[in-house]
């Protein structure tokens, strides 16, 4: 399988963690396809011009990290990372969506800061920062819930979101000193799949 990646993409990191947890890491050929400033490489596989994109062994192309994660979860061995039915499934998918939303807001801030000062929108940055604060508080509540007790997609997505905020926005006080988030992050960052996929 071929996985189009960028070394600092949190969405790619989530997929790579799932692959490692499912015993599929060695089956992935990582293709550097950093979409900034030119998305041409990844656009050949994903018309959205975004990473990650996965080309399966039979040539099917999948994009968007939740879709790729679910494919790898079904394909790989061991226990399911994504519950298949019932309340547990919807709670896990909700937490994944919340964590992905945290990433979206953080990426918005990062991209806004890369624009020339005269072109930056302070309103856009403020809106994304407010969304980050609300969402991190909600994530702390989700992590305290029993449905995220196992290392499944909810905790994987949460780890990636917290790691990305710490990596890209260390100057913002975004509530990562919340005891629930801090304890979770201190424990989970040492897990091999999380540690080996850390951005540099």
Domain ranges of the chain: 2-75, 86-195
pLDDT at position 28, please?
98
Report the CATH superfamily, name and number, of domain 2-75: Glutaredoxin (3.40.30.10)
Q: Do domains 2-75 and 86-195 have the same CATH topology?
A: no
pLDDT at 43 over 60: yes
Backbone angles phi, psi at 33, to 5 degrees: -140, 45
Cβ-contact 91, 145 below 8 angstroms: yes
State the fold for domain 86-195.
Glutathione S-transferase Yfyf (Class Pi); Chain A, domain 2 (1.20.1050)
- Measured CA to CA, the distance from residue 163 to residue 186 in angstroms comes to 11
pTM to 2 decimal places: 0.95
pLDDT tens-place string over residues 104-137? 999 999 999 999 999 999 999 999 999 999 999 9
pLDDT tens-place string over residues 143-191? 987 555 689 999 999 999 999 999 999 998 787 778 999 999 999 999 9
pLDDT tens-place string over residues 17-41? 999 999 999 999 999 998 888 899 9
Q: What is the 3-state secondary structure (H, E, C) of the chain?
A: CEEEECCCCHHHHHHHHHHHHCCCHHHCEEEECCCCCCCHHHHCCCCCCCCCEEECCCCCEEECHHHHHHHHHHHCCCCCCCCCCHHHHHHHHHHHHHHHHHHHHHHHHHHHHHCCHHHCCHHHHHHHHHHHHHHHHHHHHHHHCHHHCCCCHHHHHHHHHHHHHHHHCCCCCCCCCCHHHHHHHHHHCCCHHHHCCCCC
Work out whether the CA dihedral 188, 27, 53, 79 comes out positive or negative: negative
């Amino acid at each position: 399988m071929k996985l189009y990646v960028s070394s600092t993409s949190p969405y790619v990191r989530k997929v790579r963690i799932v692959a490692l947890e499912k015993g599929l890491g060695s089956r992935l050929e990582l293709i550097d396809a950093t979409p900034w400033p030119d998305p041409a490489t990844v656009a050949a596989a994903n018309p959205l011009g975004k990473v990650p994109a996965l080309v399966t062994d039979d040539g099917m192309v999948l994009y968007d990290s939740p879709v790729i994660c679910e494919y790898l979860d079904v394909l790989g061995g061991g226990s399911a990372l994504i519950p298949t039915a019932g309340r547990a499934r919807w709670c896990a998918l909700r937490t994944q969506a919340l964590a992905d939303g945290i990433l979206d807001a953080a990426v918005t801030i990062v991209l806004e800061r890369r624009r020339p000062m005269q072109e930056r929108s302070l309103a856009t940055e403020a809106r994304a920062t407010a969304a980050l604060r609300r969402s991190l508080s909600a994530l702390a509540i989700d992590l305290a819930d029993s449905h995220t007790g196992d290392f499944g997609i909810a905790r994987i997505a949460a780890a990636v979101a917290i790691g990305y905020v710490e990596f890209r926005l260390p100057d913002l006080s975004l509530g990562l000193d919340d005891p629930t988030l801090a304890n979770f992050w201190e424990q989970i960052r040492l897990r091999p799949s999380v540690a080996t996929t850390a951005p540099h």
